[in-house]
Structure 1
Amino acid sequence: MKKNVIARGEMWHIQVMREGRRIRFSTKLKANKENKEYILRNFERLIEEHLNPPKLQHKKPEKRSLEYYLNRTLNNAKALREGSQITYKQYYNFLLGYFGGICVENIGREEIEKFYLYLGRQDISKVRGRSIVRFLKHSLGLALYDEVINRNPVFPCKFSTLKESKKIEPFNLSEVKAILEIAKGKEYPKWFCNLLKVAFFTGMRCGELFALRKEDIDFTRNKISITRAIKQHDGKASKPKTTSGIREIDLLPPVREALLAQIESQGGKTYLFSHTRGNPFRSSADFRDIWASVLKSAGLEYRTFYTTRHSFASIMLSEGEEAMWVSKTLGHENLNITLEFYAKFLENEQKPRAVFLNNI
């Protein structure tokens, strides 16, 4: 057989007659001396491979456990603040405790249905249940992206058997006035009444309130700068919960009065509201007994200290303050979040609408 090797388009081509059949094809090798010698040495093999190309072996996707993808989701949460990381770790442990080392390929709709039944028997709220499911869905979404599974088996569920989140039961303005009047009593420390005024009339989160320092208060501009929050698990200051949490809020008259009094009496400690030795409060549990006593004396049912934040929002909205101002003061990312929780407190008195159109 004559070995015809022809240069075309800067590539070597083989041209040969076999059993009366003309065979022509490109070797896809650049037309140089070295490649021609290689082709001549392997002439028969190259023709055979051209006529009978090897079948492509499709590599089967690597089998991976759900634990692998749960870990990846957990690692992605390292960019979040420490409190959120702790919560994600709890979701991870919950899911791993149920599914164990199961392979993601073995998780179908039936397994998800069984998991939902299990989840529905747990003593957790709907909000937490849905958060756990979102964690699972994201983890399986990573497996889908890796083409280890061909669809995400997680589907929506109402979780009717789980507990509803606690309803918001804020104090009204009359109740707030009664609480503050009781807190002025000699049996309670002076700092506590100051703390209550700031909490009720700024809507600050507890961690933000406990991280408050003298330099955060601008009495000339009547502004408070919120740039940090105390973490409950270690008592250290860090950035607020969200980017929108870094904000300036208005220094309303009762708050101004309370902060001036607190700065005068707190003895140069770093944090305005702290323990005797200057360590900031970690949570409202540090003064729960005082809080409970004040509520009892005011004849009010016990509610968590965080209710002061809800009370600020509900009072301001019900008194006709702008919803956007309330939202920004609370440090919400957008107005929708504020309205989702507090829309029912919006002023809704019956009054003439669009009176500016009367003369048209």
Structure 2
Amino acid sequence: MHKLLIIGAGQLGSRHLQGALLSTGRLNITVVDPSLEALSIAEDRSRQIEWGNKDSQICYKTVLPELQYFDVCIIATAANVRADVTKTLLVTQKNLVNHIIFEKVLFQRIDDYSTIQSLLKDLKIKSWVNCPRRIFPTYQELRSFLDLNMPIHMTVTGNSWGMACNSIHFIDLFTFLIGNTALQVGCIELDAGLIESKRAGNYEITGSIELTAGNHSLKIVCGQELDCCLEVKVENGNSIHLINEIDKSWLCNKGSDSERRAYTPLLQSQLTGSVVADLITSDQCQLTPLTESCAIHIPFINVVLDHISKQLGIQLDACLIT
């Protein structure tokens, strides 16, 4: 029986639990959250699905385990405590872990990126970041259509889609499509003022950010209107792909030819089981390796940290997004 640890039983953590339980492999799952209410919700959600293996087991705890081994650990806490939780799990509590899957955004403090990378390298722990659009069938198929010998220009536009907390998903998707994580920050035009996030003490932003990698470019735009919309446009030579993530549509234009396809997103509960199974059986998965994700997180976090600091009139040491 393989051992899985899920730290954080909130919205994402409970969906990770559901996804893990769909796995046909026999799992011994430990779910940790200081909130009894969160653990209760996770337990309820575990009963809402048909388990892939009826012999899997779950235990719920309010404190981190000590001196135990886990094949896979999913750290689905809020970003502000994720680095400290990682250090407590591995250093203070002296647990042994083979693989870690981190939620995003990874960390709020820039220093934590190098600190956690060094710790995991020393402990020989393979780690990944949960930016799963690169696993979605639509985006994998789109990637197969692209010609990397020609520039790829990707634009993400919409309103009310959570630019601060969700941009990293599209930055990750961009680097997946072009096969390059060496990003340069281009034009930044963020709107004055901040939006209070659903998570207390955190903020959302609007405006635009441009990034480049070689001759490829990414522009991310979020307007201030309240109607939620989100479209991904990918231009490559004479091909233009328009993916509407709200309407779940994909329009492929190549020259004068046009074809409509379905955009097929996957829920977290549809993803975790196969990712955990891949890590257990092959020591690999399709998620973004931690080192690559750190490389694309850092320029984005620096931009947003500087913006939030200016808007609040203080120099923050932590980027208050999650």
TM-score of the superposition, structure 2-length normalised? 0.28
Higher strand share: 2
Q: What TM-score results when the alignment is normalised by the length of structure 1?
A: 0.26
Compare relative contact order (CA 8 Å, sep 6+) and give the higher one, 1 or 2. 2
Which protein has the bigger helix share? 1
